[in-house]
Amino acid sequence: MNEHRTEPFAAVDVIRAKRDGGTLTDEQIDWVIGAYTRGAVAEEQMSALAMAIFLRGMTAVETARWTGAMIDSGERLALKVSRPTVDKHSTGGVGDKITLPLAPLVATCGAAVPQLSGRGLGHTGGTLDKLESIPGWRAELSTGEITRQLDEIGAVVCAATEGLAPADRKLYALRDVTATVESIPLIASSIMSKKIAEGAGGLVLDVKTGSGAFMKTPEQARELAHALVEIGSAHGVATTALLTDMGTPLGSAVGNAVEVAESVEVLKGGGPRDVVELTVALAREMLALAGLSDVDPAEVLASGLAYETWCRMISAQGGDPDAALPAPKHIHVVEADRAGIVSTMDAYAVGVAAWRLGAGRARRGDAVQYAAGIRCLAKPGDRVAAGQPVLELHTDTPEKVPAALAALEGGIVVSEKDSTSRKIVLDTIRG
């Protein structure tokens, strides 16, 4: 026998209220998210509401309530560990391997880092894709395994459990096919619903801006950062956001296995300057939120102690930290077309090229090549000779190289003068 349920609202009335520029009530928001999650609000109705929000926006109060309703659509992790917990989220970029050295570094400094991550789509890489290039490493952990690893090691990087914010997972897929992704309230609530549901006591956000970022301009990135921090504060989670540059790839490696190798260099006390700088900057903010400001993450990183934590973290998830990483079957070298100074290395161009080489995916569920990617042999500010290697393109399928080269067209510029002046951290926004 079918069971009928009387709904307190009609979806069309909620859509009309937002379409006409009104403010949704707490009760309307709670109902529409819950009803959509259980199928009582149809996909076309939620599509219309998402477009109304895209065009009309939401107030800070609405956005915080929308986030809370998405959190309440599923479970919250109960992280009962002996250390203070603090998490980090990046809005995504090219060569953005920062989670890999950051999580073990902050754990070595005394905090617990529950880093629930995702896979890449398009030109931005995914943390899980990178780590899955390590033989034996597994992303799927139970809540019990996550808690135990946090208590014993202090850091875990894994896939989000299915029960976290199911409303967000359903709504994100809808936004992806209805041209409503680029909405600050919907982006902010999507990020924060998952992060708050993870249960960490503090959260640091790396909001990127530039050609390789989702937010292309500093103004857009700053608006998103403020929205994220406001949501965190409204939900009682100490939150800080850093605005960081993504006009140039981070570090020298872009891809999967190549980024793991570079992260290990950083954890052993070396690695590219920009990766080290951003890792330490984020670590300082995370430790401050965890009440551990007396520890200097720069000293800990330089000492190599965080590498020991990395090895334990990888081993705990079935990986072999000493195993050889996948090597590409084909390497194509891109040379400088003239002598001079590298003035531009466009992050988006490099990211798309790495994606076309096989490092990323066009659709969710597509396979990636773990050995695919790009090594930047020169970066902006470096002097090069004509014919000097500037990039190495790594792939298992050499027929993909022409498409990657097409993506790089105009993205690497060598000039007569050095006009580069790169600042990694552009601004800090605290709750």
CATH code, domain carrying 362:
3.90.1170.30
Is 191 among the domain residues? yes
Q: Do 147 and 190 fall within a single domain?
A: yes
State yes or no: pLDDT of 122 exceeds 80: no
- Tokens 């952990």, residue located: 141
Least confident of 142-151, 286-295, 320-329: 142-151
Whether 263 and 388 share a structural domain: no
Ranges 32-46, 71-85, 88-102: which has the least confidence: 71-85
Domain boundary, last residue among 283, 308, 323:
323
Regarding whether 200 and 262 lie in a shared domain, the answer is yes
Range of the domain at 254: 86-163+180-323
Q: What does 205-268 look like in DSSP terms, one character per residue? A: EEEEESTTSSB-SHHHHHHHHHHHHHHHHHTT-EEEEEEEE-SS-SSSEEESHHHHHHHHHHHT
Encode pLDDT of 264-322 as tens digits: 999 999 999 999 999 999 999 999 999 999 999 999 999 999 999 999 999 999 999 99
What is the full DSSP assignment across 132-173? TTSTT------HHHHHHHHHHTSEEEEEPPTTS-HHHHHHHH
pLDDT at 418 over 80: no
Report the domain count for the chain.
3
**Same domain flag for 94 and 193:** yes
Residue-wise pLDDT for 158-191, tens only, equals 998 888 899 998 998 899 889 998 899 999 999 9
7 vs 155, which has greater pLDDT? 155
Q: Looking at residue 118, what is its pLDDT?
A: 84
Is residue 65 packed enough to be buried (19+ CB in 10 Å), middle (13-18) or exposed (0-12)? Answer: buried
pTM: 0.94
Note whether 399 and 366 are same-domain residues: yes
Examine the pLDDT at 62 and tell me if it is beyond 90: yes
**Domain-located, residue 237:** yes
Identity of the residue numbered 253: A
Mean pLDDT of 134-150: 95
CA–CA gap between residue 412 and residue 338 (Å, rounded):
11
Rg for the chain (alpha carbons), in Å? 22
| Domain of residue 50, CATH code | 1.20.970.10
Return the half-sphere exposure (C-beta side, CA atoms, 13 A cut-off) of residue 101. Answer: 36
Same domain, 232 and 366: no
Q: Which run of H or E residues covers position 376?
A: strand 373-376
Q: Residue 4: its pLDDT value, please?
A: 55
With a cut of 70, say whether residue 91 has pLDDT above it: yes
As annotated, the active-site residues are 89, 168, 175, 190, 194
Evaluate if residue 2 carries a pLDDT over 60: no
Give the containing element (helix H, strand E) for 395: strand 389-395
The answer to whether residue 68 sits within a structural domain is: no
Same domain membership, residue 223 and residue 345: no
What whole-number percentage of the chain has pLDDT above 70? 98
Two structure tokens written together for 130: 């990178």
Indicate which CATH number applies to the domain containing 201: 3.40.1030.10
Q: Which residues face 345 on adjacent strands?
A: 412
Looking at residue 54, its pLDDT comes to 96
C-alpha of 97 from chain center: 9
Distance of CA 158 to the CA centre of its chain: 13
